[in-house]
Amino acid sequence: MIDTMLWVLLFAQIALGGFDTLYHHELTLRLAWQPGQATELGLHAVRNLIYAIVFLVLGWSEPQGGYAAALLALLLVELGITLWDFVEEDRTRLLPASERVTHTLLTLNYGVILALLLPDLWARTALPTALPILFHGLPSILFAIAALGVTLSGLRDLAAARRAPRLVEPDAAALAEALPTRCRILVTGGTGFVGRRLVAALAGAGHEVIVLTRDPARGATLPRPVRIVTSLDAIDRAERLDAIVNLAGESIAGGLWTCRRRAAIRASRIETTRALATLAHRLAVPPAVLVSASAIGVYGDRGEALLDETSPAGTGFCGEICAAWEAEADRMAAAGVRIVRLRIGLVLAAAGGLLGNLLLPFEFGMGGRIGSGRQWMSWIHRDDLVRLIAFAIATPTLEGAVNAAAPNPVRNADFTRALGHALGRPTVLPLPAAPLRALLGDFADELFLASQRVLPVRAVFEGFRFRHPRIEGALAAITGAVRPAAAATPSRPFAALRRLH
């Protein structure tokens, strides 16, 4: 029934489909966590389950009669689902070029498979109904593995399709409600994980947004109306800016800290901030405020210590970078600009960041605490961070260092438990510290094992109120969980402030 050419084409279909699912749907788009994708996820689920049946039948049998007719019908149904999926994708999202090419190759390859397979299947429908079991050696084993893989993927997509209606993000415009009047705001890093949500909030609330980006193509995908500039020279000296929000910087967690990467991380922050200071001095009327990103990494690994904005800087690569970054931002004060240095914690949202990378392994039951699990994690929901940025722009008494972290930091073990509960998965696979250190060195020490128990003293005392103060509620909101986990500790974030002040 199956000759060598058909085996090759079927394995090519498996390889291309696996690449499309892992690279585009999981790693790039995180399709299972995108609001409004229930129909596409449902189509993927049904198609994957059809493929599971097809792989098992072709790999282990030669169907005859009614079984051949049923397989023929499944192959044609899969073709219809693929065409429907093309329409749904074009309706709901912008496909990257690599995904379009992959889909084209999958469609062409599937067409050749049908051309080779359908005549033989049609002839077999005339035979007596039977499903004889045949073992083809290695191809049978590989097809069984492929069937298991697409079954798991199909069940996962089916669950994601049922969850999708609960993944409703709040209206972005409401996040900028702290800004009472229309402002003109320059945003750097506006195409990033936090910047994209901030730009959507500001533009949605009617503010005039200018985004500085090195990638105009990514800038073109931002919510409108937004003005895109690729150089600060495009901003005229007479132009009025009410505020600058500086979020630009190479991702700290985007790869191992080689010498070249350390230099790129440093340069991306220092040089952009320095250019903004030059712009502020060049403008006829400087902006009223600069909200410049920093990170809680400035404090270093501090164990059980409670940290507020007056706590001294720590050591390590992150501490050094953040200190230099903040010092560069402070240069703008000479132009009469109010400086707010946001020391940002671990930003949580399904679209990216730490949580975006954890969702896939945790969904498949492969999550667990890191190291001892006793290290403190200071986190903030992405929407609360956007609200805090707007609050910082609108609050003239807020300046200097401001901790952008929720008022209830948690230990890694409690974070792990809460995420497992939100996803309905066990969290029994710990990641020991020793192999992490052996593989990643100080990258692991500073990003995964460091303990930072940070409190947002300045923001709270100035009147900012977090909508997601507890990790259990934040994770439930992000993952669409029906019911949040019980709180690991009582909510008394400032009970120990006497030790801080």
pLDDT tens per residue, range 109-147: 999 999 999 999 999 999 999 999 999 999 999 999 999
Per DSSP (E only), the strands in 276-362 are 289-295, 306-307, 338-344, 346-348
Q: Which of 134, 150, 166 is the last residue of a domain?
A: 166
pLDDT at 95 over 90: no
pLDDT at 385 over 90: yes
Question: Would you place residue 1 in the very low, low, confident or very high pLDDT band (cuts 50, 70, 90)?
Answer: low
Q: If you search the block for the tokens 């890694």, which residue do you land on?
A: 412
The C-alpha angle with vertex 33 and arms to 491 and 446, in degrees rounded to 5, equals 55
DSSP 442-466: HHHIIIII---EE--HHHHHTT---
241 touches 283 (CB < 8 A): yes
pLDDT at 322 over 90: yes
Mean pLDDT of the chain: 92
pLDDT at 2 over 80: no
Query: Quick one: 136 and 186 in the same domain?
Result: no
Query: Quick one: 21 and 144 in the same domain?
Result: yes
What is the average pLDDT across 365-382?
A: 96
Query: Quick one: 187 and 161 in the same domain?
Result: no
Q: How far apart are CA 292 and CA 266, in angstroms?
A: 15
Query: CATH number of the domain that 371 lies in?
Result: 3.40.50.720
Is 233 a member of any domain? yes
Cβ-based neighbours of 83, under 8 Å, separated by 6 or more:
none
Question: Percent of the chain, pLDDT > 90?
Answer: 80
Question: Would you place residue 258 in the very low, low, confident or very high pLDDT band (cuts 50, 70, 90)?
Answer: confident
What pLDDT shows up at residue 15? 96
Q: How far apart are CA 295 and CA 246, in angstroms?
A: 13
DSSP 2-20: --HHHHHHHHHHHHHHHHI
Q: How far apart are CA 462 and CA 388, in angstroms?
A: 11
Query: Quick one: 160 and 193 in the same domain?
Result: no
Q: Which of 131, 149, 166 is the last residue of a domain?
A: 166
Is 493 a member of any domain? no
Q: What is the pLDDT of residues 396-437, one digit of tens each?
A: 999 999 999 999 999 999 999 999 999 999 999 999 999 988
What pLDDT shows up at residue 491? 59
Query: Quick one: 69 and 96 in the same domain?
Result: yes
What is the average pLDDT across 62-81?
A: 96
What is the average pLDDT across 197-215?
A: 95
Q: If you search the block for the tokens 């995108």, which residue do you land on?
A: 34
Q: What's the length of the chain?
A: 501
List the domain range (segments joined by +) for residue 371: 172-482
Q: How many domains does the chain have?
A: 2
Q: What is the pLDDT of residues 453-496, one digit of tens each?
A: 999 999 999 999 999 999 999 999 999 987 666 666 655 666 55
Instruction: Judge if pTM exceeds 0.85.
Output: yes
Return the DSSP state at 187: E
Query: Quick one: 337 and 298 in the same domain?
Result: yes
Q: Which of 123, 148, 166 is the last residue of a domain?
A: 166
What pLDDT shows up at residue 497? 57
Cβ-based neighbours of 265, under 8 Å, separated by 6 or more:
249, 250, 252, 257, 321
Neighbours of 285 (CB within 10 A): 12
202 touches 386 (CB < 8 A): no
pLDDT at 380 over 90: yes
Query: Quick one: 140 and 277 in the same domain?
Result: no
Cβ-based neighbours of 397, under 8 Å, separated by 6 or more:
462
